[in-house]
Amino acid sequence: MDVTAKLLRVYHVDKQIRGLQSRLGTAEKFLQTQVKELALIDARMAALGSTLTQQTVIAADQEGETKRLDERMAVIRGQMDKAQTNKEYQAFLTELNTYKAQRDKFETTAIEALAKAEEIRKQLADLEVLRADREKVREHAAKEREERFKEIEGRLNELKSERAACVAEVPSNVMSMFQRLLDLRGDLAMGTVEVIDRKRHEYNCSACMMAIPIDAVSGLISNGRLTRCSSCECVLFLDETAQAALKPGGKKSAKSA
Ligand SMILES: [Zn+2]
């Protein structure tokens, strides 16, 4: 078996492995999306939780201030009842009005904080429902991913050992070049020769559609020499269609499907 044929075996096994892994990849991606969505909901809930604490503290603080002023005003009212002169009475009245204005401000702030806290509690309750739903989806996604993995696990291991056997046949320097191509280009690591016109020596690389010189094709025909497309650098091979078209007396033109 020539080097191109050996690489082609690796390429085919690799393609199957990628196909299997992409099925797992879709399930994995879906699961990761759910995990991220849950994390976003948790972050929003944590932020709302700390705002709720702030508003509760503000409400309690302002209610405390209101109570303190209520007590202070009760004392002043008592003092007003006992005022000896009108001037003394007026002084207490002014003080009382000042406290009243302060008290109203504290009370308004407390009410606003309580209203905000109530609104946050509602938002948190809504998020709680959303989170529970999302958690169900995540559990389903995790199960799905596990099932997909079990489905492919056996076949994947078979293919991996098949791949290792195929790789062992390829000279190591050629294999490291080819591995880089596979990592970089996946399915486009190899391309077949498209015979555009045999008589006129017109050939294309099926990976990039650029022309391939006759010398390159001759090397492939005669001894399966390692040949790379000068445009896209993929490893070229001759598929059945190309082989048939290149046979003397074969069809003049043949494009791979
Ligand atoms: Zn090419």
Query: Residue ranges of the domains in the chain?
Result: 3-168, 186-246
Dist. CA 98–CA 88, nearest whole Å: 16
163: CA distance to ligand 1 center in Å?
Answer: 24
Share of the chain above pLDDT 70, in %: 96
The residue written with tokens 């099926």 in the block is 206
Among 17, 36, 40, 39, smallest CA distance to 28 is for 36
45: CA distance to ligand 1 center in Å?
Answer: 53
> 31: which residues sit within 8 A by CB, 6+ positions away?
138, 141, 142, 144, 145
211: CA distance to ligand 1 center in Å?
Answer: 8
**Residues of the chain predicted below pLDDT 50:** 257
pTM, whole model, 2 decimals? 0.61
191: CA distance to ligand 1 center in Å?
Answer: 7
Q: Which residues are in the CB-under-5-Å shell of ion ligand 1?
A: 205, 207-208, 229, 231-232
211-212 and 202-205 as β-strands: parallel, antiparallel, unpaired? antiparallel
202: CA distance to ligand 1 center in Å?
Answer: 14
Q: Residue 257's pLDDT is what?
A: 46
Query: How confident is the model over 200-232, as pLDDT tens digits?
Result: 999 999 999 999 999 999 999 989 999 999 999
6: CA distance to ligand 1 center in Å?
Answer: 19
216: CA distance to ligand 1 center in Å?
Answer: 12
12: CA distance to ligand 1 center in Å?
Answer: 18
Torsions phi, psi of 201, nearest 5? 55, 45
206: CA distance to ligand 1 center in Å?
Answer: 7
**CA distances (Å), origin 110, targets 59, 63, 104, 105, 115:** 4, 6, 10, 9, 9
Query: How confident is the model over 170-189, as pLDDT tens digits?
Result: 999 999 999 999 999 999 99
How high does pLDDT run on average in the chain?
A: 93
207: CA distance to ligand 1 center in Å?
Answer: 5
235: CA distance to ligand 1 center in Å?
Answer: 8
The residues with which 197 forms a beta bridge, in sequence order, are 202
202-205 and 190-197 as β-strands: parallel, antiparallel, unpaired? antiparallel
In the CATH hierarchy, which fold is given to the domain comprising 3-168? Helix Hairpins (1.10.287)
